[in-house]
Amino acid sequence: MNDRALKATGAAHSGDGDAGMDARGRAMQGAIADAGMDARGRAMQGAIAEDAARAARVRRNAWLLAGCAVLVYVGYIAWMFFRAQGG
């Protein structure tokens, strides 16, 4: 069976494709997969850290914007109150 057929049947993910492989082949395949996972894991970890930093920056900017909106709203209410009292 070729790779496309194995993936289509799901055999590649369930381990059925390794039936003809000896122990040495399985060990080598695992070592190759582990090396690839390490590189992908480091890249993914960097991407996750960048996403976390970006999310923190967005959250901080949202709080700043909300604080400015509250300040303008309360300032407007105070201005209207003092204007009505002085007029």
Retrieve residue 77's tokens: 């209410």
| 19 backbone dihedrals φ, ψ, rounded to 5° | -60, -35
Tokens 């049947």 map to which residue?
9
pTM: 0.46
**47 or 26: which carries more pLDDT confidence?**
47
Residue ranges of domains in the chain:
3-86
pLDDT tens digits, one per residue of 60-73:
999 999 999 999 99
